Amino acid sequence: MKHFKIQKNSSAVDEIIKMQLEKLPPLTKVEIVVRTVTPYYCINAPKKISKNCKWESKNTFRSNSDGLIDLNTFPSLAGTYSGVYPMGCLTFLIPSKKNLLNKEQKSNKTSFNEFCVFEITALLDGEILDQCRIKRFFVNKNIKHKLVESNTFQGRFFYPENETNLPAILILSGSEGGIEKAQAIAQLIANHGFATLAIGYFGIGNLTKDLSRIPLEIIEDSISFFKSQKMIDSKHIGIYGRSKGAEFALLAASYFSEINCVVVNSPSNVVYEGISNKGFPTRTSSWSYRGKNINYFPFSFKTFFLSKITHKDFPLINENSSCEIPVEKINGNILCIASSKDEIWNALEASKRIQKRLAKYNFQHQFNSNYVENAGHMLTIPCQPNSRYKNIDKKLLMNDTYETWNNTVSHFKDNLKQNSYQL
């Protein structure tokens, strides 16, 4: 007998779908086991976990008097998580074994991570009642892609097929380098009716291995690429950056007026010193333009260790305001996303300083903020496991992730004047 009733057998990674079981014995405990059966890309997974690693969740639910279980609205009584959480059986997967992963260095060898198939099994007293499979995709089948490579960057371009006047968004990830995280975000945003370009700006292919003196010309070249694509409305260009990519995004948007919508996730309000691939300061700026260093805040081990002893934030930004990003020059509305528990840098304080500077210079556009209290620095996409924070309630962490992701998509829709592309 078939018991599973799934709203969609194929759905986007960031989409909540109804998942129910019916015609069960009333008031009976049923174990639900979810396993990956194809390679699974998790944006939050530690680098050493391979995509070929198997992920799994096991949770026990009780059917109601009508013999129904709704996996989104009924509480998990025991297992990988407890209580009620939409898509919890997928959101709180655990890797079953860890495989060492050799980082893919070239964008044409980095997997597109298009989808993953999950097998869902219902068991009663250890016996299989029913099984089904669902597919969760990063890119809808109507999204096309192509490689974009230049002397300054390597990227992947995603766009809805047979659409015109598409607003376009540049996607920048953080200090991990490569392209996979930016690609995952670009893919999902493309599903919502945008052309997106995931940019790898270091640590990939023949590009520099250091996050140092990265040329702003990367963004200039990317804008030129958008302008050359006939399906794109080049009057509506946005940019998204997270972590170090947020610093890059704010700086780039302050230089290039073609960018008229900005979302920054866990940002800095200053330009920092560059970082070598060994994790040491480079004594140069992170960014450059026309061959010259952008003013930057130099790293000091003395100041860093003093900040740890005194429990004060590093760096003491007020001491060197010349490294502040001139955000007042940005030609569009800004959304800043930050957590009060950011463990990498004080993104919340940085966001407030961005707002203060905008007010000081009578910024002519809107500044919007989305501040959360439970997540840390790793605020990415919903419905994927995030085991980075052992001491944070994982349901509260995911609530913050849903909220900030939905606000990201909404900000682009509202400000780039694009109707949602229907999946």
Residue 358 burial (CB count, 10 A): 18
Partners of 368 in beta bridges: 335
Residue 351 in any domain: the answer is yes
- The pLDDT score that the predictor gives to residue 47 is 80
DSSP 286-337: SEEETTEEPP-BPP-HHHHHHHHHHT--SS-GGG-GGGB--GGG--SEEEEE
Residue of 63, 107, 243, 286 marked catalytic:
243
- Of 156-170, 246-260, 292-306, 339-353, give the lowest mean pLDDT range: 292-306
Same domain for 118 and 149, yes or no, is: no
- Of 81-95, 191-205, 292-306, give the lowest mean pLDDT range: 292-306
Query: Is residue 111 flagged as an active site residue?
Result: no
Same domain for 213 and 349, yes or no, is: yes
Comparing C-alpha atoms, which of 102, 89, 93 is closest to residue 49? 102
Same domain for 304 and 407, yes or no, is: yes
Model confidence over 361-381: pLDDT tens digits? 999 999 999 999 999 898 999
pLDDT at position 197 over 70? yes
Mean local confidence (pLDDT), 273-283: 91
Higher pLDDT, 307 or 343: 343
Instruction: Spell out the residues 6+ positions from residue 332 whose beta carbon is closer than 8 angstroms to its own.
Output: 238, 253, 259, 260, 261, 262, 365, 415
Mean local confidence (pLDDT), 99-124: 78
Same domain for 226 and 181, yes or no, is: yes
Q: How many domains does the chain have?
A: 2
Same domain for 82 and 119, yes or no, is: yes
Residue 314 in any domain: the answer is yes
Residue 179 in any domain: the answer is yes
Model confidence over 280-322: pLDDT tens digits? 899 999 999 999 999 999 876 545 555 544 445 545 555 457 8
Residue 388: which pLDDT band, with cuts at 50, 70 and 90? confident
Mean local confidence (pLDDT), 262-270: 97
Mean local confidence (pLDDT), 70-95: 97
Domain that holds residue 351: 143-415
- The pLDDT score that the predictor gives to residue 420 is 38
Higher pLDDT, 153 or 33: 33
Residue 185 in any domain: the answer is yes
Same domain for 297 and 196, yes or no, is: yes
Same domain for 187 and 223, yes or no, is: yes
Residue 220 in any domain: the answer is yes
Q: How far is CA 33 from CA 94, 120, 123, 152, 259, in A?
A: 12, 6, 8, 46, 46
Q: How many residues does the chain have?
A: 423
Same domain for 172 and 282, yes or no, is: yes
Residue 177 in any domain: the answer is yes
| Domain end marker among 137, 160, 187 | 137
Residue 423 in any domain: the answer is no
- The pLDDT score that the predictor gives to residue 279 is 86
Residue 422 in any domain: the answer is no
- Of 45-49, 103-107, 122-126, 134-138, give the lowest mean pLDDT range: 103-107
**Could you tell me the CATH number of the domain that includes residue 366?**
3.40.50.1820
- The pLDDT score that the predictor gives to residue 107 is 57
Same domain for 126 and 208, yes or no, is: no
Looking only at the bridges linking them, the beta strands covering 214-215 and 287-289 are: parallel
Model confidence over 144-173: pLDDT tens digits? 999 998 888 999 999 999 999 999 999 999
Same domain for 94 and 237, yes or no, is: no
Higher pLDDT, 315 or 271: 271
DSSP 117-181: EEEEEEEETTEEEEEEEEEEESS-TTEEEEEEE-SS-EEEEEEETT--SEEEEEEE--TT-SSHH
Same domain for 27 and 151, yes or no, is: no
Residue 16: which pLDDT band, with cuts at 50, 70 and 90? very high
Same domain for 39 and 175, yes or no, is: no
- The pLDDT score that the predictor gives to residue 103 is 54
- The pLDDT score that the predictor gives to residue 422 is 40
Residue of 14, 210, 342, 400 marked catalytic:
342
Query: Is residue 420 flagged as an active site residue?
Result: no
Residue of 3, 145, 236, 377 marked catalytic:
377
Average pLDDT, the chain: 91
| Domain end marker among 112, 137, 162 | 137
| Domain end marker among 117, 137, 157 | 137
Query: What is the separation of C-alpha 222 from the centre of its chain, rounded to a whole number of angstroms?
Result: 20
- The pLDDT score that the predictor gives to residue 125 is 95
pLDDT at position 342 over 80? yes
Q: What are the two backbone dihedrals, phi and then psi, of residue 294, each rounded to the nearest 5 degrees?
A: -80, 140
Q: How far is the C-alpha of 166 from the C-alpha of 190, rounded, in Å?
A: 10
- The pLDDT score that the predictor gives to residue 318 is 56
Residue 56: which pLDDT band, with cuts at 50, 70 and 90? very high
Query: Is residue 233 flagged as an active site residue?
Result: no
Q: How far is the C-alpha of 327 from the C-alpha of 362, rounded, in Å?
A: 11
**Could you tell me the CATH number of the domain that includes residue 58?**
2.60.40.2240
